[in-house]
Structure 1
């Protein structure tokens, strides 16, 4: 990414739900024009197919890297996934990166898929790297299945970065031993970020890898000069929805070392139980005001305020152990003033 002004900054393509996937083309172009080093795509099974959207973004840009954050290891046959990635790699002259997550347990169940444990993850990424290196796979029998013969051709030599998308302490140690990078989560505090770095490095060292070679991508919600409504909808509602999800906020609590009783009280509150659905989708502003009183301010770690304050928050993530910052919750148009302030801060 030597030809980009801000290789340490990135943002999402098609954040959240969309019915207009062609927006990814203009969004990727805008991010490249601003000098960002990378854009990330979170795959959804509607109109956000990873191969299609990443291809469109890569084919219409020249410098920026495009990564998934995430797709899954087990929703495609290993040879099909390997082929998708190598095609994107050669199409873009090496600008594609693959981010993988375990997937949502309930969705796995509904799709008739087993969950991805560590053993499956290791097996899967070893298969991918073997195929990308031009080697063949003969009579493989493992957690992912029986594959009598897999090959992509001896000429293949695709060095594709692999990122783990997750944030649980145990998962971070595991990922440090096997992946090139770790894509974290919104609302990880400075304390949690430092712990994440330590977990990843411990896992890398245990595996005999260079701990500094595993890159940490911190995700930071950004709201420049937000109105009260913007703050409630972009920051409070997002965190509240995470706190609704069983098993989800618990991982944030473990990493950040928060008080779990706060979560129990939140979920038991009539202000929460009276809402029929995801808070970020259906809650009114009055309901969000009430819910905001249930969430400690320190749980809402984000870049909020003036452009200068947000820029300093980005820099603080880098100072606290992140190798890059993923700008979350803002469009390029919304965070451009922050980027201008960050440029001045960076070159001061």
Structure 2
């Protein structure tokens, strides 16, 4: 396949949990060989440090873009985050992109961090972009803290795209005002995707922006999955989102689902007595029971079935308002055959 044959398609590096971060090297090379436009990395605080893994992926590839989806604005000092990003930018001749999220509320609490506010986001973006342009930040005292003097270098001239990683309706409008792109979430229905496009565009219009804010859909893709694969990659993932206070509520609001389902789900003994995240600790027997608590519609917003059926679903997503689709829950080895069918649809 030729380079960048599918610039509108991407995939995750190290999807989900991993104990072998070195796999990211081969996965990035395979994604580039398949002609994908981008790979995304979701940072975890174990062996998936964003700077390290993105650096490795960029060092062993030549054309594909590498982006975080996501890291956080407040887990690194703003100058340290700016330096990480500018280093990756110049290391790769401009192939790095930054995806930022507010962080999961419970994790923020456990780490002693407050959830990032809109005012922090706005000022944080300004600080990053200023430093990347060789400008100084002096005498700042505001939502991002007390920053007497920050300066990276006069010669810097790095235009690094910044994506908002999230999906709450209010956040999507906000992202349309301030970010270059939005990286969404799994389990967003076609109607939810159209709504997301509308909200992002409303935000951009409010800010008087002419350029299109790119929208990236995240599509769980399972080729002829076994029952265990379905339970672990679809049911367990959705159930874990439904566990988290506030998280599933945003997905329900975007998709127009019944919020009462979440309350009943969380009260169910199999969920209420779960000691940890469902996708980390639940047995297959427990997942079978949990599957009965989730409406079929909630777990059907994925690409699943034959390679041809998965290709059709990925292609359809672009007609609902997405500019890019990030393939999730499958590695390049697993979804390579899907691209053969996708090519015919382009």
Sort the TM-score into its range (normalised by shorter chain): over 0.9
Structure 2 counterpart of 1:68? 68
TM-score normalised by length of structure 2: 0.96
CA distance in 1, matches of 2:113, 2:286: 37
Between the two proteins, the alignment pairs up a number of residues equal to 344
Structure 2 counterpart of 1:228? 227
Aligned 8 A contact 2:3 2:33 in 1? no
CA distance in 1, matches of 2:23, 2:195: 36
SS across alignment from 1:52? helix
Please identify, of 328-337 and 313-322, the stretch whose mean Cα deviation from structure 2 is larger.
328-337
CA distance in 2, matches of 1:272, 1:107: 19
Structure 2 counterpart of 1:102? 102
CA distance in 1, matches of 2:73, 2:146: 16
CA distance in 2, matches of 1:287, 1:247: 23
CA distance in 2, matches of 1:266, 1:77: 38
**2:81 matches 1:81:** yes
Q: Which has the higher contact order (CA 8 A, sep 6+)?
A: 2
Structure 2 counterpart of 1:296? 295
Q: Shift in Å at residue 3 of structure 1? A: 4.2
**2:56 matches 1:56:** yes
SS across alignment from 2:179? coil
CA distance in 2, matches of 1:167, 1:338: 27
Runs of at least 5 residues in structure 2 that lack an aligned partner in the other structure: none
Please identify, of 233-242 and 154-163, the stretch whose mean Cα deviation from structure 2 is larger.
233-242
Quickly say closer, same or farther: Cα 1:58–1:270, change in 2 above 3 A. Answer: same
Runs of at least 5 residues in structure 1 that lack an aligned partner in the other structure: none
CA distance in 1, matches of 2:12, 2:172: 22
The one-character-per-residue Cα deviations of 1:81-137 (angstroms, maximum 9, x if unpaired) are: 111111100110000000000112222223222221000000000001111111111
SS across alignment from 2:178? coil
Aligned 8 A contact 2:3 2:32 in 1? no
SS across alignment from 1:258? coil
SS across alignment from 2:153? coil
Q: Shift in Å at residue 146 of structure 1? A: 1.8
Please identify, of 122-131 and 15-24, the stretch whose mean Cα deviation from structure 2 is larger.
15-24
CA distance in 2, matches of 1:266, 1:104: 20
The one-character-per-residue Cα deviations of 1:33-56 (angstroms, maximum 9, x if unpaired) are: 111110111111222111111111
CA distance in 1, matches of 2:194, 2:166: 15
Q: Which runs of structure 2 are paired with 1:233-272 in the superposition (5 Å)?
A: 233-272=232-271
Quickly say closer, same or farther: Cα 1:106–1:285, change in 2 above 3 A. Answer: closer
CA distance in 2, matches of 1:150, 1:281: 41
RMSD: 1.4
